């Protein structure tokens, strides 16, 4: 972090403000709202959202430490899509559609594993290289009926930033994730040296709620005092709300600040460190900035990561159906941290686990309420919920609707 850089230099230039459309479902004169009822219920809209939003944006997939050796892979399942995230070589990470090009078998069933020199379909033993090229179609030679070159594994786009892997199934890749991140976030991230982290534990949550309710909840802290008393012990909820009012951008990916109260060490039940082995340069004596909490966000399909001097967590929401979502959480520690010595898994996940359960329980109740025929979205607070306005405008823009 360059001490001579001013705050304004550190901001990515926001897009020029767009005047609100009179046809937008969000704008109601003196107030704005969330989306109409059917936006959270309709299965046809949901399918369209998967096409136009989830398959277009950058979706958080995981971290390079999960696939250290060439041939290592893990799977990202997103609605009906399944991607194989694999290190094809020391320098190349690919995301292959997990589908044999012959008759469509799902190639990998395990959530992670290692490929030998060939990726072999068990149905008729068609085989592919680690780079996805078709190596052999059993009993059909190259060029006999078709050209092997046309039938390699289908690829999604990959963008790696600070070791975090993002994928997009769009025809044309969005701009690289690194180009979307502001200088301050990059500087803060570099202090924790993300390439030297590892995933200590992963946990999957389920919620009977539309994915956009998870997004809306994520981009406001209006609910923090009432819903998250434990979280508010160490979170500076007021500074968090300020982030959504001032620093938040409706970008596909962006830096995130998760401010801890200044006098505390980390985001935890009591404000103390959860891992003794501090991350990156902090373990080597670099002074810890005041209220340190850096991270990133993706949207409209919502993921967020928050990193403190000792540990971090990335939560990735994924759509299942109009009324159902999942959220996958990974907790990160220093690559040399030892479980049971430097950190205790149960203690480490506690603060986020409680907070996640509180949020998802709220979203399930909200889904039930929104389902009622008499529900119309109510006035949102311009000071407390501006992030909802921005995020939903981004959503409407991607859906090709007036925003």
Binding site for its own copies (CB under 8 A): 30-31, 34, 37, 51, 55, 80-82, 97-107, 109, 122-125, 137-140, 145-146, 151, 154, 169, 216, 222-223, 226-227, 362, 365-366, 368-375, 377-384
Least Å distance, CB 305 to its own copies, is: 25
Q: Is the peptide bond before 301 cis (omega within 30 degrees of 0)?
A: no
Least Å distance, CB 140 to its own copies, is: 5
Least Å distance, CB 160 to its own copies, is: 21
Paired with 27 in beta bridges are 32
Q: Of 126 and 332, which CB lies nearer to its own copies in the complex structure?
A: 126
Q: Of 123 and 133, which CB lies nearer to its own copies in the complex structure?
A: 123
Q: Of 223 and 276, which CB lies nearer to its own copies in the complex structure?
A: 223
Least Å distance, CB 285 to its own copies, is: 43
Q: Of 162 and 366, which CB lies nearer to its own copies in the complex structure?
A: 366
Compute the distance between CA of residue 253 and CA of residue 189 in angstroms, rounded to an integer: 15
- The vertex-196 CA angle with 195 and 202, nearest 5°, equals 90
Looking at 152-236, list the stretches that DSSP marks H as alpha helix, in order from N- to C-terminal side: 183-192, 211-218, 224-227, 231-234
Which residues contact residue 129 at a Cβ distance below 8 angstroms, ignoring those fewer than 6 apart?
117, 118, 119, 135
Pairing of strands 303-307, 294-298: antiparallel
Q: Of 185 and 380, which CB lies nearer to its own copies in the complex structure?
A: 380
Of 13, 34, 23, 62, nearest to 300 (Cα)? 34
Least Å distance, CB 374 to its own copies, is: 5
Q: Of 187 and 227, which CB lies nearer to its own copies in the complex structure?
A: 227
Compute the distance between CA of residue 366 and CA of residue 388 in angstroms, rounded to an integer: 15
Compute the distance between CA of residue 317 and CA of residue 359 in angstroms, rounded to an integer: 12
CA distances from 308 to 1, 70, 293 (A): 16, 30, 5
Least Å distance, CB 385 to its own copies, is: 9
Least Å distance, CB 246 to its own copies, is: 17
Least Å distance, CB 363 to its own copies, is: 9
Compute the distance between CA of residue 211 and CA of residue 103 in angstroms, rounded to an integer: 32
Q: Of 10 and 362, which CB lies nearer to its own copies in the complex structure?
A: 362
Rg of the chain's alpha carbons, rounded to an integer? 22
DSSP for 15-57 reads PPPPPPPTT-SSEETTEE----GGGGT-HHHHHHHIIIIITTS
Least Å distance, CB 379 to its own copies, is: 5
Q: Of 23 and 150, which CB lies nearer to its own copies in the complex structure?
A: 150
- Count of residues for the chain? 403
Structure tokens at 305: 């990561």
Structure tokens at 65: 């430490």
Q: Of 312 and 386, which CB lies nearer to its own copies in the complex structure?
A: 386
Compute the distance between CA of residue 312 and CA of residue 123 in angstroms, rounded to an integer: 41
Q: Of 5 and 109, which CB lies nearer to its own copies in the complex structure?
A: 109
Let me know: does 161 contact 93? Beta carbons within 8 Å: no
CA 128 centroid distance within chain: 30
Compute the distance between CA of residue 236 and CA of residue 260 in angstroms, rounded to an integer: 5
Least Å distance, CB 218 to its own copies, is: 13
């Amino acid at each position: 972090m360059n001490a001579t850089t001013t705050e304004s230099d550190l901001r990515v230039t926001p897009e020029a403000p767009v005047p609100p459309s009179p046809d937008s479902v969000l704008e109601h004169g003196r107030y704005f709202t969330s989306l109409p009822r059917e936006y959270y219920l309709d299965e046809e809209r949901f399918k369209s959202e998967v096409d136009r939003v989830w398959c277009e944006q950058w979706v958080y997939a995981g971290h390079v430490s999960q696939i250290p050796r060439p041939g290592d892979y893990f799977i990202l399942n997103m609605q009906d899509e399944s991607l194989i995230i694999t290190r094809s070589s020391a320098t190349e990470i690919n995301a292959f559609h997990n589908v044999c090009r012959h008759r469509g078998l799902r190639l990998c069933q395990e959530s992670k594993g290692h490929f030998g020199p060939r990726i072999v379909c068990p149905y008729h033993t068609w085989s592919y290289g680690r780079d996805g090229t078709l190596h052999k179609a059993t009993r059909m030679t190259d060029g006999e009926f078709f050209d092997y070159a046309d039938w390699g594994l289908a690829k999604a786009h990959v963008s790696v930033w600070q070791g975090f892997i993002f994928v997009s199934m769009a025809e044309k890749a969005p701009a690289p994730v690194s180009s979307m991140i502001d200088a301050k976030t990059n500087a803060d991230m570099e202090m924790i040296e993300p390439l030297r982290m590892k995933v200590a534990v992963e946990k999957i949550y389920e919620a009977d709620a539309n994915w956009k309710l998870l997004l809306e909840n994520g981009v406001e802290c209006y609910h923090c005092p009432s819903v998250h008393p434990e979280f508010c012990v160490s979170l500076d909820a007021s500074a968090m709300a300020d982030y959504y009012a001032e620093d938040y951008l409706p970008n596909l990916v962006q830096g995130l600040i998760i401010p801890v109260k200044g006098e505390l060490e980390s985001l935890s039940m009591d404000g103390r460190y959860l891992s003794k082995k501090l991350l990156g340069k902090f373990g080597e004596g670099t002074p810890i900035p005041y209220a340190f909490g850096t991270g990133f966000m993706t949207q409209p399909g919502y993921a967020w990561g928050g990193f403190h001097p000792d540990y971090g967590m990335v939560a990735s929401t994924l759509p299942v159906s109009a009324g159902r979502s999942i959220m996958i959480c990974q907790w990160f520690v220093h690559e040399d941290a030892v479980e049971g010595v430097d950190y205790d898994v149960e203690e480490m996940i506690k603060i986020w686990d409680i907070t996640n359960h509180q949020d998802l329980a709220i979203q399930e109740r909200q889904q039930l309420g929104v389902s009622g025929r008499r529900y119309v979205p109510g006035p949102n607070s311009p000071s407390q919920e501006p992030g909802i306005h921005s995020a939903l405008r981004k959503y409407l823009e991607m859906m090709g609707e007036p925003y």
